């Protein structure tokens, strides 16, 4: 039995040394040379960059363009009945969104805005708010570069509410809804690839609401948000 231990150990050591060498030789025989792979397109030729293959998700995103921005500015009402203690301009805030195909100059625009004020010195703390929803096409004169002017137009839907304090409770009632139109112009400044800052002016023409208040006004302010490109 002892006589078999040494031959078996030598045979095992020999197999550990020979097996990797045989496997390496077989791999070289199976794998074609680099020149053949370059001719068949498997490997890039010397000095040639390997083409970058984009995923379907990246290709889809690159086809579309869109922006979403917060809005803060002033709202000058046509009717003096909206004014607060002889102030001609109300504070307005909102959200603006537009999207469309990157190769098209026209995007679909959606906007939601609100302006409100409270009458000073009123025993019931009476206050009014006017909400506006806008939608329509937005035309970009250019969708490239750091400065992108645009114009918009479409339908504006307005809703007014009156809120007051009664018996230590806050009550709200709708004081009119109306539909009108809007015209809009602005400039978007791209701050890097995804951040944008803009100037925006909008004129809204609408009918009368309750309390003989007109829904027409001019809104102007700043936008800050982000975009796909």
CA dihedral over 84, 87, 93, 96, signed as positive or negative: positive
Residue 8 has pLDDT above 50, yes or no: no
Residue 71 has pLDDT above 90, yes or no: yes
Predicted local distance difference test score (pLDDT) of residue 17: 46
Report for 17-26, 31-40, 87-96, 186-195: range of highest mean pLDDT: 186-195
Q: Which two tokens stand for residue 59?
A: 């290709």
In this predicted structure, which of 40-49, 160-169, 180-189, 220-229 has the lowest mean pLDDT? 40-49
Predicted local distance difference test score (pLDDT) of residue 167: 74
206 band by pLDDT with thresholds 50, 70 and 90: very high
d(CA 178, CA 9): 98
CA dihedral over 11, 13, 18, 23, signed as positive or negative: positive
Where in 102-215 does DSSP place strands (E)? 106-118, 127-140, 147-166, 169-191, 195-205
Predicted local distance difference test score (pLDDT) of residue 212: 74
The single-letter DSSP state of residue 43 is S
Instruction: Measure the CA angle with vertex 65, ends 201 and 71; round to 5°.
Output: 30
Residue 13 has pLDDT above 50, yes or no: no
């Amino acid at each position: 039995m002892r006589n078999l231990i040494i031959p078996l150990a030598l045979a095992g050591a020999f197999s550990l040394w020979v097996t990797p060498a045989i496997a390496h030789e077989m791999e070289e025989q199976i794998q074609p040379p680099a020149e053949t792979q370059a001719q068949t397109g498997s490997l890039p030729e010397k000095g040639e960059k390997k083409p970058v293959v984009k995923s379907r998700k990246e290709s889809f995103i690159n086809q579309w363009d869109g922006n979403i921005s917060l809005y803060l500015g002033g709202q000058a009402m046509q009717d003096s009945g909206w004014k607060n203690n002889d102030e001609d301009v109300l504070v307005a805030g909102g959200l603006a969104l537009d999207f469309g195909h990157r190769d098209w100059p026209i995007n679909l625009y959606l906007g939601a805005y609100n302006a409100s004020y409270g009458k000073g010195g009123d025993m019931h703390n009476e206050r009014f708010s006017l909400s506006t929803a806008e939608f329509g096409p937005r035309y970009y004169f250019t969708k490239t570069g750091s400065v992108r002017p645009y114009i918009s137009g479409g339908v504006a839907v307005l809703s007014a509410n009156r809120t007051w304090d009664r018996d230590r409770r806050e009550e709200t009632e709708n004081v009119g809804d109306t539909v009108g139109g809007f015209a809009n112009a602005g400039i978007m400044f791209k701050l890097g690839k995804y951040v944008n800052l803009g100037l925006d002016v909008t004129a809204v023409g609408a009918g009368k609401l309750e309390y003989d208040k007109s829904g027409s006004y001019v809104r102007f302010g700043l936008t800050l948000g982000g975009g796909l490109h």
